[in-house]
Amino acid sequence: MGTKTISLADDAYERLRAEKRENESFSDVVRRLTEGTTLEEYYGTLGEDTADELEGIVSRRRTERTNESRDRVERIADALE
């Protein structure tokens, strides 16, 4: 099996690292997060109002997780100084 080197923005790397479980490689994380059912299979299942509400919740949660990750990195950096 070969390997590939990819570039990620810092925030994308932090998101991926946040998903990483103990003893799990980054390749394992990507495989786990990308396997299974795709969202396209559910297109049209939700009503528009419900879909809009869900989209808002997901967007807010992503922002919260990004901020939490950023805060965690800053705390670690401060502790190392």
pLDDT digits (tens, 9 = 90+) for 61-70: 999 999 999 9
Q: Rounded to whole angstroms, how far apart are CA atoms 66 and 71?
A: 9
pLDDT at residue number 17: 94
Amino acid, single-letter form, for residue 3: T
Q: Is 61 part of a structural domain of the chain?
A: yes
What does the pLDDT read at residue 63? 93
Q: 53 lies in a domain? A: yes
- Segments forming the whole domain that contains residue 24: 10-80
- Cβ proximity of 66 and 15 under 8 Å: yes
Domain count, the chain: 1
* Gap between the Cα atoms of 13 and 3, Å rounded: 18
User: Tens digits of per-residue pLDDT, 17-76?
Assistant: 999 999 999 999 999 988 877 777 777 888 888 888 999 999 999 999 999 999 999 999
Q: Is residue 4 part of a domain?
A: no
User: What's the pTM?
Assistant: 0.44
